Amino acid sequence: MKAIPYGRQHITQKDIDGVVEVLKSDYMTQGPRIAEFETKFADYIGCKYAVAVSNGTAALHLSVLALGLRPGEKVITTPITFAASANCVLYAGGIVDFADICPKTFLIDLDKIEEKLANSPAGSYKGIIPVDFGGLPVDTERLRQIADKYDLWILEDACHAPGAYFTNTQEQRIYCGDGTYADLSIFSFHPVKHIATGEGGMITTNNKDLYEKLLLLRTHGITKSVDLLTENHGGWYYEMHELGYNYRLPDLSASLGITQLDNAEAGVQKRKQIAKKYQQAFDELGISYQICPDNTYNAYHLFIILVKNRKELYNKLRENNIFSQVHYIPVHLQPFYKNKGWNKGDLPQAEAYYEQCLSLPMYPTLTDEEQDFVIEKVKEVCV
């Protein structure tokens, strides 16, 4: 049997044809595919504005800058995420604080955030970066209430969750990244994520000022927009207004994003089917997995189980050409963050989760046969 990874891209002939078309056109970058991808992505997610960038990490970096984070200012995030969710705060000179997770959903625990805020002097924190971990939406409705009480911004890391939603107290569907409660949301198009463009990212928002700031920061802080210029020397003239970056997405990648979006909804449906089959099998075997609250619709970037003999299972799967993965080593226990004063014991739920978590293969092209094989191997080790 061929290797079974924990996640992988699904590239169609349409994706390939689209890229070839871009290669034959006048634009490899800064062409018409960018705006087309942004509009189509905003439609899919249900937000007003979308800004395509070179990767998810660049999306996080530009977001904290657009939100105005300054050196020395504090931001709260979860320890169970990819390092970039925390690192972006440091790029802007800020300070990262971690709040522990809920042991059932594996998401940042909103009670812990409230506790932290209530026990700190007013104005101690500037923002919160929640992560829709595994594809499960954070309750941004409640988080917004907390954030408003303490005057904080919300930057939602939705890399795992395009297509996920929860129903709020008014029975409305709130899609991850739709701009209802978060100030900004970010996505990644790395090949293991739902939509694959090689490298790529997106920032979504309903806030026009933030949107315009992001556009400027994405290309060096330079503008040619006539109404923004302070002088005008002629057709060549441009001005640099901010210290920005080159975080643009090439048209080649944007083209992939456009055609990949056609399969996004079907991909989420397929992930859901795969999750259901895992859940049925593991309910019978008494193996626990990420709990999805009733009002939430998980986009299943990951399917995570908790097992006591995790290392044994990981090795056994690997012997059988099944490449499971651990998401994540708690960020606060990385040597870099330990050097900033974090220690084992600081976030007990996250650390206990890390001892047992394992992400099983989860991607739309995983076959029934392959999934049966994975389940069979899990059973051999864990029952």
Ligand X SMILES: *Cc1c(COP(=O)(O)O)cnc(C)c1O
Binding stretches for ligand X (CB under 6 A): 55-57, 81-82, 84-85, 131, 157, 159-160, 188, 190, 201
Q: Which is nearer to ligand X, 57 or 260 (CB)?
A: 57
User: Under a CB-based contact definition with an 8 Å cutoff, are residues 154 and 130 in contact?
Assistant: yes
CB of 58 to ligand X, least distance (A): 7
Q: Which is nearer to ligand X, 126 or 194 (CB)?
A: 194
Q: Give the span between the Cα atoms of 65 and 67, in whole angstroms.
A: 5
- Residue 304's closest CA among 324, 322, 333? 324
CB of 280 to ligand X, least distance (A): 27
CB-facing half-sphere around the CA of 357: CA atoms within 13 A: 24
CB of 313 to ligand X, least distance (A): 23
CB of 168 to ligand X, least distance (A): 23
CB of 131 to ligand X, least distance (A): 5
Rounded to the nearest 5°, which phi and psi values hold at 164?
Answer: -85, 155
Q: Which is nearer to ligand X, 97 or 377 (CB)?
A: 97
Q: Which is nearer to ligand X, 10 or 277 (CB)?
A: 10
Name the maximum alpha-carbon separation found in the chain.
75
Q: Where are the alpha helices (DSSP H) in the chain?
A: 13-24, 32-45, 56-66, 84-91, 110-118, 140-149, 208-218, 251-261, 264-285, 310-319, 335-338, 348-356, 368-382
Q: Give the span between the Cα atoms of 271 and 269, in whole angstroms.
A: 5
Q: Which is nearer to ligand X, 131 or 374 (CB)?
A: 131
Tell me how far the alpha carbon of residue 306 is from its chain's centroid: 22
CB of 310 to ligand X, least distance (A): 20
Q: Which is nearer to ligand X, 81 or 349 (CB)?
A: 81
CB of 190 to ligand X, least distance (A): 4
- The answer for 135, left when phi > 0, alpha when psi is -120 to 50, beta otherwise, is left
Chain position whose Cβ is nearest to ligand X: 56
**Helix/strand/coil (H/E/C) assignment for every residue in 283-298:** HHHCCEECCCCCCEEC
Our separate counts of H helices and E strands in the chain read: 13, 15
Q: Which is nearer to ligand X, 61 or 126 (CB)?
A: 61
User: Under a CB-based contact definition with an 8 Å cutoff, are residues 353 and 305 in contact?
Assistant: no
Rounded to the nearest 5°, which phi and psi values hold at 202?
Answer: -150, 145
DSSP state of 75: E
CB of 24 to ligand X, least distance (A): 27
Q: Which is nearer to ligand X, 85 or 206 (CB)?
A: 85
